[in-house]
Structure 1
Amino acid sequence: MFKAELSDSSILKTSFDAISSIVDEVQIQTDSEGMRLDALDRSHITFVHLELKSSLFDEYICDVPEKINIDTDEFMRVLKRAKSQDRVLMSVDEGNFIITFEGDATRTFKIRLIDIEYDNPTPPQINHPTSFKVRFSILKDSINDIEIFSDKIALEVDEDYFIASADGEFGDASIKYLHGENIKEHEKALFSLDKIREMLKADKFSEEAEISLGTDMPLSLTLTMVTGDGKLSFLLAPRLETDE
């Protein structure tokens, strides 16, 4: 039996707003410790990991581990119907992922489970030379500034600053943030602006992001809830200068 009840629908909304932009289908795995998923987009550019511990939920029961295979777009369409004050109840019956919103009215949706041959992907083990934290709002502002001139974004860190920049055909942009971390290296890598924008749709998950960066290495972006009950992380492959 699996049953989970959550008083704050925004946690699921913000998570799957990002996830559904990256992958079409996922397998949500549940056990006594909570819910989690690992997924890789079709182009093998972005890896995503979500972990929601049982302690996050108002009520959580999982006697037997479940594998819930769903279409992420369908799940997100249902989640968008949740009102801010609604409680979210999740359960599974034979062939359906059942989502119920309890508020002024009780509304129940059944999402058909899909058949997918699924082996959970695992991210490569990468030892980034630098890690630091930055406010999520700064990342979102940087994306909006950079997209004026380019569809690529260079992320750079040195002893003093975290820098987002772009060199476009019609202009350049640069955003510098004094990180205040103990960093001795100078690292820089280039990424797809659209891919980072997909990740940043999870803006309500955490007010702060941890970035791990290395020269021409994948970008690691991790969001952790203040309570420690949830984590959403992404690993994004870099764009090389030879990429078109």
Structure 2
Amino acid sequence: MSASVRLVFGDAREWRYIVASLAALVDEANFTIDPSGMRLRALDPSRIAMVDFNLPASAFEEFSCEEEVKIGVNFDELNKVMKRGRADERVILEVVGGRLRISIGGKAERSFSLPVIDIAGEELPLPKLNFTVRAKMLSDTLKDAIKDAELVSDSVSFDAKEDYLRVYAHSDKGEVEVKFTIDTGSLIEYEVDEPSRSTYPISYLSDMLKRAANLSDIAGIEFATDKPLLLSFELAGGGRLSYFLAPRLEA
């Protein structure tokens, strides 16, 4: 890899949260870096979910990249390194001799080096979906609802009517229902083209929200009946983190 890459991110804790949010789904994947910024799109190993991440060059304190470069990383190892970062430190990412060097600078500068992995394959296209429900709510509010549903089931249904969005789970253990409305303030934005209902695996939603809620106070939810769900978060600096999750079709 001959191209020179040097990226400086001003908040090591926020970068740690970004890495953790990606590691929630993928084991290994390519960061694609070009003069416009950084992006990543990958499927989880079971191909049930996809993550799509982008961060513009302007979000970095320093961004040096003259041509497109792909940096394949093991996210378990990168996540371990970034857990060492704090909010009062900055992160420097450089590719040196076929390795990714991560420097975390505060009172002392610490450097870590990870191998760059050769990950073959074309960049995945985004799913083409027509959503009938679009909502925005506080990330923590949605995270709490999924935690409630997790008490009784391993799947959760999103049920959208004209004036409310319902999160519902049931099993032999019991039932859980959480309703969100504009009137109560639990929904910030809400659009419904038609009544819609779809069911998704809780473990994926829990992992996504546990990590991404640290990055954005607001979560966007879009879905349609028995179609994939889009869970999205706007990031500081103009970036975006999105998850697509396949539905669990009920018999």
TM-score bracket for the superposition, by shorter chain length: over 0.9
Secondary structure of 2:212's partner? coil
CA distance in 1 between partners of 2:142 and 2:105 (Å): 34
Q: Aligned partner of 1:136: which letter?
A: S
Structure 1 equivalent of residue 234 of structure 2 = 224
User: In 2, are the aligned partners of 1:158 and 1:187 still within 8 Å (CA)?
Assistant: yes
Unaligned runs of 5+ in 2: 182-186
Secondary structure of 1:44's partner? coil
Secondary structure of 2:190's partner? coil
The yes-or-no answer on 1:198 pairing with 2:201 is no
**Following TM superposition, by how much is the alpha carbon of 1:2 offset from its aligned partner in structure 2, in angstroms?**
1.1
User: In 1, are the aligned partners of 2:132 and 2:193 still within 8 Å (CA)?
Assistant: no
Selected match of 1:119 from 122, 126, 135? 122
User: In 2, are the aligned partners of 1:14 and 1:203 still within 8 Å (CA)?
Assistant: no
Selected match of 2:192 from 173, 183, 205? 183
Q: Aligned partner of 1:215: which letter?
A: T
**CA shift digits 1:164-185 (9 cap, x unpaired):** 1101112100011113534342
Structure 2 equivalent of residue 137 of structure 1 = 140
Structure 2 equivalent of residue 241 of structure 1 = 250
Structure 1 equivalent of residue 48 of structure 2 = 45
Unaligned runs of 5+ in 1: none
**CA shift digits 1:143-196 (9 cap, x unpaired):** 111111111111121111121110111210001111353434211100000011
What TM-score does the superposition give when structure 2 sets the normalisation length? Answer: 0.92
The yes-or-no answer on 1:33 pairing with 2:36 is yes
What TM-score does the superposition give when structure 1 sets the normalisation length? Answer: 0.95
Secondary structure of 2:24's partner? helix
**Following TM superposition, by how much is the alpha carbon of 1:226 offset from its aligned partner in structure 2, in angstroms?**
5.2
CA distance in 2 between partners of 1:184 and 1:240 (Å): 21
CA distance in 2 between partners of 1:116 and 1:181 (Å): 40
The yes-or-no answer on 1:207 pairing with 2:207 is no
Count of matched residue positions in the alignment of Structure 1 and Structure 2: 241
Q: Aligned partner of 1:219: which letter?
A: L
Secondary structure of 2:153's partner? coil
User: In 1, are the aligned partners of 2:50 and 2:244 still within 8 Å (CA)?
Assistant: yes
Secondary structure of 1:17's partner? helix
User: In 2, are the aligned partners of 1:36 and 1:50 still within 8 Å (CA)?
Assistant: yes
Q: Percent identity?
A: 32
CA distance in 1 between partners of 2:50 and 2:193 (Å): 28
145-154 vs 218-227, greater mean Cα deviation: 218-227
Selected match of 1:97 from 97, 100, 104? 100
